[in-house]
Structure 1
Amino acid sequence: MSYQQTTIAVNDAVAERLADALMEHGALSAAIEDAYAGTENEQAIFGEPGMPTEQIWQQSKVIALFGEHDDAAAVINRAAAECGLGGIGFETEILPEQDWVRLTQAQFDPIQISDRLWITPSWHDAPDGNAVNLQLDPGLAFGTGSHPTTRLCLQWLDSELKGGESVLDYGCGSGILAIAALKLGAGSATGVDIDEQAIRASNDNAAQNNVQARFFLPDGLPAGQFDVVVANILANPLRMLGEMLAARTKQGGRIVLSGLLDEQVEELSEIYGQWFDIEPAQIEEGWARLSGVKR
Structure 2
Amino acid sequence: MPYRQTTITVNDTAAERLADALMEHGALSAAIEDAYAGTENEQAIFGEPGMPTEQIWQQSKVIALFGEDDPVAGIIQKAAAECGLGELPYTAETLEDQDWVRLTQAQFDPIQISERLWITPSWHDAPDDNAVNLQLDPGLAFGTGSHPTTRLCLQWLDGELKGGESVLDYGCGSGILAIAAMKLGAGSAVGVDIDPQAIRASRDNAAQNNTDAQFYLPDGLPEGQFDVVVANILANPLRMLGDMLAARTKQGGRIVLSGLLDEQVEELSEIYAQWFDLDPAVTDESWARLSGVKR
Structures share fold, TM-score greater than 0.5:
yes
1:82 aligned to 2:82?
Answer: yes
Report deviation, 1:83. Answer: 2.6
Paired position in structure 2 for 1:269 = 269
CA deviation vs aligned residue, 1:74-123 (integer Å, no higher than 9, x gap): 54455344334466665554322111222222222211111110011122
Aligned-residue CA RMSD in angstroms? 2.7
Report deviation, 1:248. Answer: 1.1
SS in 1 for 2:186: coil
Paired position in structure 2 for 1:134 = 134
Paired position in structure 1 for 2:219 = 219
SS in 2 for 1:18: helix
Paired position in structure 2 for 1:45 = 43
Report deviation, 1:58. Answer: 4.3
SS in 2 for 1:115: coil
CA distance in 1, matches of 2:64, 2:93: 10
* Alignment CA distance shift 1:249-1:94 (3 Å): closer
1:24 aligned to 2:24?
Answer: yes
Aligned length: 293
Structure 1 residues 109-120: aligned runs within 5 Å: 109-120=109-120
Report deviation, 1:54. Answer: 4.1
> Structure 2 length normalisation: TM-score?
0.86
Paired position in structure 2 for 1:158 = 158
Q: In structure 2, what residue type is equivalent to 1:188?
A: S
Q: Structure 2: which 5+ residue stretches go unaligned? A: none
* Alignment CA distance shift 1:36-1:217 (3 Å): closer
Q: In structure 1, what residue type is equivalent to 2:120?
A: T
1:184 aligned to 2:184?
Answer: yes
Q: In structure 1, what residue type is equivalent to 2:240?
A: M
CA distance in 1, matches of 2:8, 2:79: 12
* Alignment CA distance shift 1:75-1:284 (3 Å): closer
Paired position in structure 2 for 1:256 = 256
Paired position in structure 2 for 1:167 = 167
Q: Give the stretch that moved more between structures: 9-18 or 244-253.
A: 9-18
CA deviation vs aligned residue, 1:114-162 (integer Å, no higher than 9, x gap): 1110011122211111111111122232212122221121111112212
* Alignment CA distance shift 1:165-1:34 (3 Å): closer
Q: Give the stretch that moved more between structures: 172-181 or 258-267.
A: 258-267
Report deviation, 1:29. Answer: 0.4
Paired position in structure 2 for 1:209 = 209
SS in 2 for 1:238: helix
Q: Kindly, what percent of the aligned residue pairs are identical?
A: 83
Report deviation, 1:278. Answer: 2.5
**8 Å contact kept, 2:44–2:234:** no
CA distance in 1, matches of 2:37, 2:184: 37
**8 Å contact kept, 1:34–1:43:** no
SS in 1 for 2:173: coil
SS in 2 for 1:190: strand
CA distance in 1, matches of 2:74, 2:182: 54
**8 Å contact kept, 2:37–2:43:** no
> Structure 1 length normalisation: TM-score?
0.86
Q: Structure 1: which 5+ residue stretches go unaligned? A: none
SS in 1 for 2:241: helix
